[in-house]
Chain A
Amino acid sequence: AQSVTQLDSQVPVFEEAPVELRCNYSSSVSVYLFWYVQYPNQGLQLLLKYLSGSTLVKGINGFEAEFNKSQTSFHLRKPSVHISDTAEYFCAVSERTGGFKTIFGAGTRLFVKA
């Protein structure tokens, strides 16, 4: 069975500073990896996904993530954050074959300060 660990529950950062949200996963089979964002009282919105190919994945709103198979990590980065990036971010994993369920990490609350 797969699992996801988000290493930071909260990340405070100043506006225009870079940020990295860390995610490690565990699975016995090959996986797909995702980052989602959730704004207050909303559902989740996909930021980016890794299905295959290049390990550096670019997403919406200037976010990118790098898949590292040897370290089983999929960290999310943004070079310069805005106040509007304040939200909850979820890392998720699903198995390439079978399973048919996506498992989410506990979430990281990104708080951007002026």
Chain B
Amino acid sequence: KAGVTQTPRYLIKTRGQQVTLSCSPISGHRSVSWYQQTPGQGLQFLFEYFSETQRNKGNFPGRFSGRQFSNSRSEMNVSTLELGDSALYLCASSPQGNTEAFFGQGTRLTVV
């Protein structure tokens, strides 16, 4: 069974730009969660989607958004990038959303 795939692995963007990250979950998993990981803040929950519906959202500004498609693939978008958005963005899939999560290798976003 293929694991969680995140693309791209690395990304460099300029302040003010926007970025879209992609996540393909494990086949059959309907829940996809997104996390931001930074050295100072650790792993912070962004949002969770299940069957194309956002069920929960973390404490991030509206510049961070996401969506899920009918095939369970998910994208997250960050608009008007700030230097502080530089982080490792991790996607995780699970069957239901609150049990074992399977993580992708992440997308390393650097904002310059």
Contacts and interface: CB of A to CB of B under 8 A. Distances in A.
A107 B97 CA distance: 21
Contact of A100 (B55, B90, B104, B105): B55
A101 B45 contact: yes
A96 B102 CA distance: 18
B43 interface: yes
A15 B90 CA distance: 31
Interface residues of A, number: 24
A100 B103 contact: no
Interface string B63-83: 000000000000000000000
Interface size class of B (residues with CB under 8 A): 20 to 34
Given A99-B56, A100-B56, A104-B43, A43 B4 contact: yes
Contacts of A43: 4, 90, 103-106
Interface string A9-51: 0000000000000000000000010101000011111100101
Contacts of A90: 43
A41 B104 CA distance: 11
A87 interface: no
A101 B48 contact: yes
B100 A46 contact: yes
B98 A46 contact: no
Contact of B99 (A44, A94, A103, A107): A94
A105 B45 CA distance: 11
Nearest to B57: A101
A95 interface: yes
A105 to B, nearest CB: 8
A96 B98 CA distance: 7
B8 interface: no
Interface string B12-50: 000000000000000000010101000000110100101
A84 B103 CA distance: 20
